[in-house]
Amino acid sequence: MADYDVLVIGAGPGGYVAAIKAAQHGKKTAVIEKEHLGGVCLNWGCIPTKALLKSAEILDGLKHAKDFGLKADNVGHDFAAVMKRSRDVANGMSKGIDFLLKKNKVAIISGTASFQDAKTVVIAKADGTTQTVTADNVIIATGHKPRTFPHLPVDGKQVVNYRHLLALTEQPKSLLCIGAGAIGMEFGYFFSTLGTQVTVVEVMDQVLPVEDAEIAKVVERQFLKNGVAIKTGTKVVKLEQKAASVVVHLEKAGVAETVEVEKVLVAVGFLASTEGLNLDKAGVKLDERGFIQVDGNQLTTAPGVYAIGDVAGKQLLAHKASFEGEAAVAAISGHSQPVDYTQIPGCTYCQPQVASVGLSEKKAKELGKAIKIGRFQFMASGKAKAIGHPEGLVKLIFDAEHLQLLGAHIVGYDATEMLAELSVALRLEVTAEELMLTVHAHPTLSEAVMEAAADALGVCVHQ
């Protein structure tokens, strides 16, 4: 008999959810983690960055206290204390994962895993010893590593990735973010709000390239208004490091430019973290992009070996990883519960926030769909005006024939907290009329969803 029914490699948001679900299904389960329970998301990504962003939001609010008839003089910040709070939040959450795993009787094994064969894993311990375990089923959940390029050498001091920024104790006077995806824009917002001079460079023609273009434009305008330099359609040619700065050589449409900054953040995507796993010994193959090849049930090319989360590609998002973990456990338990990747929501937590699910306007048109669009500007929302955040809008994409919801896009304050309603609506194939006829409490930001649906039908009252 094998030591375990299910062995999970990696305890991130995919791995620990899979391990707990397997244990709840009556499987004898263990999870192997080489660093911190909760993975990158909880320790060095999703959670600590949101703690930082909240500090920035509060500081920004205090700076505008006069707009609300309030007095908040000599407002400032303690950078080291802000960073410490972020780490404390992450550490507390990691301890919570430890509790949940133990509560569900999941064995926790510390060390670095590698395959001996598809059912045998060797764990290298920190003290130099090894442990060999066997399992009927193995779930690989080892996550990602930052993508690097030869002309963007990360040294961890002047040229850094997101993890290095989260460990800073001194605030840089200037920062250039290479990449205007979620990481670049979130850190750009955080540091600029605290007073760092920020430049964001993106090779594509818009910030947040995966988002709807109209939505991304709202974010860009707000960043520019706040003093952030935005350079889209621009590539970084090389980095020239000096004693106390980095000269960044840029090029746009054949025109060269240089920007000198204290630090450079490289945020240009991710690769699957598979080094040292000895996947070939297990019979696990990679796809053409270097991610682990899986089927609809997360099964790899090796019987009994599954892969979930960032290491398996597609959307590199924590909630996607968790749902893939559930899909893998369902398959192991004799059921099929594949993830519908067309309904994975995406969120960016800078201000204004961005939240989306389903098709963008551009993607819908590329697919040849006839569409109707409903919009509602937060400028016309009583709640948005009352809280001092009238920027942004709700944009809904409907099928022109049946007016079924195809995609939803929100940019504005607390946009990420408004998205779940639209995720449910997309899953249930709700129509514009059904959204419009759903009574939304007044005054709320979510009324904008109802109004955008009404706009698609040509009967919006409030704009």
pLDDT in tens, 76-94: 999 999 999 999 999 999 9
Instruction: Give me the DSSP letters along 229-278.
Output: EEE-S-EEEEEEE-SS-EEEEEEETTEEEEEEESEEEE---EEE--TTS-
Range 330-335 contact pairs with CB under 8 angstroms and sequence separation of 24 or more: 330/297, 331/297, 331/298, 331/299, 331/306, 332/5, 332/6, 332/22, 332/25, 332/27, 332/137, 332/306, 333/25, 333/27
Catalytic residue among 64, 151, 335, 442: 442
Is residue 200's pLDDT more than 90? Answer: yes
12-30 mean pLDDT:
98
- Give the architecture (CATH level 2) of 4-146+271-342: 3-Layer(bba) Sandwich (3.50)
Average pLDDT, rounded, for the chain: 97
Q: Please say whether the beta carbons of 7 and 133 come within 8 A.
A: yes
Q: Give the confidence band of 41 by pLDDT, cuts at 50, 70, 90.
A: confident
187 to 72, 232, 420: CA distances (angstroms):
25, 17, 25
Phi/psi at 280 (5° precision): -60, -35
Is residue 173's pLDDT more than 90? Answer: yes
93 to 89, 107, 164, 190, 462: CA distances (angstroms):
6, 19, 20, 22, 43
Helix (H, G, I), strand (E, B) or coil at 336: coil
Q: For residue 33, what are the contacts with CB-CB under 8 A and spacing of at least 6?
A: 10, 11, 15, 39, 108, 109, 110
What pLDDT score was predicted for residue 441? Answer: 98
356-384 mean pLDDT:
97
Q: Give the confidence band of 462 by pLDDT, cuts at 50, 70, 90.
A: confident
Percent of the residues in the chain that have a pLDDT greater than 70, as a whole number: 100
In the chain, which segments carry CATH 3.50.50.60?
A: 4-146+271-342, 159-268
94-109 mean pLDDT:
96
6 DSSP assignment: E
What pLDDT score was predicted for residue 463? Answer: 79
In total, the chain counts a number of residues equal to: 463
363-391 mean pLDDT:
97
What pLDDT score was predicted for residue 177? Answer: 98
Q: How far apart are CA 389 and CA 352, in angstroms?
A: 9
pLDDT in tens, 207-248: 999 999 999 999 999 999 999 999 999 999 999 999 999 999
What pLDDT score was predicted for residue 81? Answer: 97
Q: For residue 251, what are the contacts with CB-CB under 8 A and spacing of at least 6?
A: 234, 235, 237, 257
What pLDDT score was predicted for residue 461? Answer: 85
Is residue 314's pLDDT more than 90? Answer: yes
What pLDDT score was predicted for residue 60? Answer: 96
What pLDDT score was predicted for residue 331? Answer: 98
The number of angstroms, rounded, from the C-alpha of 137 to the middle of its chain's C-alpha atoms is: 28
Q: What is the b/e burial string over 110-144, where b = at least 16 CB atoms within 10 angstroms of the residue's CB?
A: ebbbbbeebbbbbbeeeeeeeeebebbbbbbbbbb
Q: Which of 365, 457, 395, 347 is nearest to 214 (CA)?
A: 395
Q: Please say whether the beta carbons of 173 and 340 come within 8 A.
A: no
Rg of the chain on CA atoms, in Å: 23
Q: How far apart are CA 258 and CA 328, in angstroms?
A: 48
Q: Which of 176, 323, 154, 160 is nearest to 249 (CA)?
A: 176
What one-letter code names the amino acid at 277?
L
Q: How far apart are CA 233 and CA 235, in angstroms?
A: 7
Is residue 189's pLDDT more than 90? Answer: yes
Helix axes 79-103, 46-63, angle to 10 degrees: 140
406 to 155, 316, 342, 437: CA distances (angstroms):
44, 22, 10, 18
In the chain, which segments carry CATH 3.30.390.30?
A: 352-456
CATH of 159-268, one of 1.10.3210.10, 3.50.50.60, 3.20.20.100, 3.30.230.10: 3.50.50.60
How many other C-beta atoms are found inside a 10 Å radius of the C-beta of residue 27? 19
Q: How far apart are CA 370 and CA 243, in angstroms?
A: 57
Is residue 347's pLDDT more than 90? Answer: yes
Q: Which of 223, 203, 207 is nearest to 215 (CA)?
A: 207
Instruction: Give me the DSSP letters along 287-316.
Output: -TTSSBP--TTSB-SSTTEEE-GGGG-SS-
Percent of the residues in the chain that have a pLDDT greater than 90, as a whole number: 96
The number of angstroms, rounded, from the C-alpha of 67 to the middle of its chain's C-alpha atoms is: 32
pLDDT in tens, 413-441: 999 999 999 999 999 999 999 999 999 99
Q: Judge residue 182's burial from the number of C-beta atoms within 10 Å of its C-beta, 0-12 exposed, 13-18 middle, 19 or more buried.
A: buried
CATH 3.40.640.10 fits 352-456, yes or no: no
What pLDDT score was predicted for residue 100? Answer: 96
Q: Please say whether the beta carbons of 240 and 247 come within 8 A.
A: yes
Catalytic residue status for 442: yes
Q: How far apart are CA 97 and CA 57, in angstroms?
A: 27
